[in-house]
Amino acid sequence: MNLKDKIAIVTGGSRGIGRAIALKLASLGAKVVVNYRVNAEAAQEVVEAIKAQGGEAIAVQADVRNADDAKRLVQTAQSTYGRLDILVNNAGIHRDNLLVRMSEEDWDAVMDTNLRGTFNCTKAAMRPMMKQRYGRIVNITSVSGLAGNPGQANYSAAKAGLVGFTKAVAKEVGPRKITVNAIAPGYITTDQTAYLPEEWKAKAIEMTPLGRAGSPEDIANAVAFLVSDEAGFVTGVVLRVDGGLVMMG
């Protein structure tokens, strides 16, 4: 796979899965805009890591929940590198609790980042991608959005929303040679899953046929395929990268 001179935005690119995606795309030749909301130091570390391996990258602060910030993020990519080829909507948060204990604030926070953020960034990216008649969009959903997960009604709902969003937008922009796909990770070892009880982690691995937790690099490798020319005839797909944890249709 060769992404030489492709321009990519990775939202939530300062850590975990986003960091791994940014590094992978850069290793294949893409110039990467590493988006972050608050952790400038971590985002800059990703940029320096990309530069150390001979790549090009910049860090851009933007809160994807805000439509104006999303527009500015896309405009910065264009003004810096001249175009935008790839958008990876990775930014996401958890606010886990049983539904009877879940606050409206925790519901709204997860919806705003995980679903509205993807809407804002995708809408902002549409105009340049449609004009150039080329684009690759990958949305990071979750197996929780496919099968549901107790204690994650907000997260599961937002991630399920991304599945429908992905398929609808894929149909809208396919005639403009833009592909829109989603990846549904299973249990992945990141700082976002570090808080989970050890017994839950052990159970997740036990339920995974491949017998291990996934790594951020497992997700990054799948993203790399979906944004490559090799996946030029793949759109509207939700690719599970879960070690077989959720086997559905």
- Over range 45-56, report the average pLDDT: 97
Among the listed residues 235, 249, 238, 230, the one whose alpha carbon sits nearest the alpha carbon of residue 177: 235
Q: Is the pLDDT assigned to residue 249 strictly greater than 60?
A: no
* Percent helix, strand and coil across the chain, each to the nearest 5: 50, 15, 35
- What digits encode the pLDDT tens for the residues 70-117? 999 999 999 999 999 999 999 999 899 999 999 999 999 999 999 999
Tens digit of each residue's pLDDT (9 = 90 or more) over 157-167: 999 999 999 99
What residues act catalytically? 155
Query: Closest Cα to residue 148, out of 212, 99, 103?
Result: 99
In the chain, the percentage of residues whose pLDDT exceeds 90 is: 86
**pLDDT average, residue stretch 182-202:** 81
202-212 b/e (C-beta count within 10 Å ≥ 16 → b): eebbeebeeee
Tokens of residue 135, six digits: 């684009």
Q: Cβ atoms within 10 A of the Cβ of 48, count?
A: 11
**Separation between Cα atoms, residue 249 and residue 238, nearest integer Å:** 11
